[in-house]
A = this chain, B = another copy of it.
Amino acid sequence: MENTATTQRIHILVFDRCQIVDATGAASIFGSANEAAMKAGHTKRPYDIKFIAPETNQVKTSAGVSLYADYILGDRIHPADTLICPGGKGTPSFISNPKAIKSIKRIASRTRRVVSVCTGAFILAEAGILDGRRAATHWAYCDQLSHDYPEIKVEADPIFIKDGNVYTSAGVTAGMDLALALIEEDIGRDIALEVARDMVMFSKRLGSQAQFSTQLATQMAPPGNIRDLQL
C-alpha cells in the first residue's frame, strides 16, 4: 500500500442538465477512498473534491434536482490534479459556449490528468483534447462522436480507456469504475477494492469490459425466453 504524501485536488465540472451520477458517482468513489485510506493508516486524506460550474453555483441536473458548485469556471483557484467532465442532456448546450470551452482548455492544460464520463467526451473533443487519441463514450453516442470529431479513434466496446493522461469512460456507472481505476493508480489496489466493497459494487470492472454485458443482454430477451432459461 502506498501512503498519501499530498492531498490531490479533484475538480468535477457540473453544468445545466448534466447527468447527475456522471458527476456524483466519481465524487462518491473518491470520497469513499478518503475514508478507506484514513482507516488504513494514511496520515492525509488523498483527495479534496470540488464541483465547478460555468456560471452560477446552483446547477439543475437532467433529473430535475440540483447540485451546488464550490467554484465558478474562471475563478482564480489552485490548479486541479484531476479534471472530470460529466455528460448528459445539457452537453450540446455546454459545448456551444465558446467561453466555457476555452476555460476547459485552459484548466486541462495545467492538470495532471483529464477525465470524461459518458457524453462528457464531447466536451474534451470540442476542447481539442481528444485529437488523435483513443476514446470511449456512452454506447448510444459513439457514432456521433466519431462523425463530429473524425480525428478521434472512438472505441465502442470498452467501459473506459486511458490514452496518455486522458481518460474517457462509457455511460454513467462506467464513470464509477473509471474512478476506481484512478484510485488504484494513485494509492493502490487494496484501497480500490475496499471502496468497491464499501459501495457494494458487483465487481471491479476492467476498462476492457464490454458496455453490453451478456447478463444484461439475457435480461433484455423477451420474457418467454427468460422463463425458458430459468427452467
Within A1-41, which residues are at the interface with B (CB < 8 Å)?
A: 12, 19-21, 24-25, 27-28, 30-32, 34-35
> DSSP class of A's interface residues: helix, strand, loop or mixed?
mixed
Tell me, yes or no, whether A198 is within 8 Å of chain B by CB: yes
Q: Residue-by-residue, is A175-211 near B (CB-CB < 8 Å gives 1, otherwise 0)? A: 0100000000000010001001111111111000001
Nearest Cβ in chain B — how far from A212, in angstroms? Answer: 8
Tell me, yes or no, whether A129 is within 8 Å of chain B by CB: no
Which of the residues B27, B35, B63, B140 comes within 8 Å of A27, measured between beta carbons?
Answer: B63
Contact partners of A189 in chain B: CB under 8 A: 223
Which of the residues B50, B51, B65, B219 comes within 8 Å of A70, measured between beta carbons?
Answer: B65
On whether the beta carbons of B24 and A51 are closer than 8 Å, the reply is no
Q: State A28–B219 Cα separation when bound (angstroms).
A: 21
Number of interface residues, chain A, beta carbon within 8 A: 60
On whether the beta carbons of A49 and B30 are closer than 8 Å, the reply is no
On whether the beta carbons of B216 and A196 are closer than 8 Å, the reply is yes
On whether the beta carbons of A65 and B67 are closer than 8 Å, the reply is yes
On whether the beta carbons of A24 and B20 are closer than 8 Å, the reply is yes
Tell me, yes or no, whether A62 is within 8 Å of chain B by CB: yes
Tell me, yes or no, whether A224 is within 8 Å of chain B by CB: no
Nearest 4 CB-CB pairings of A with B: A31-B63, A203-B215, A66-B68, A171-B200
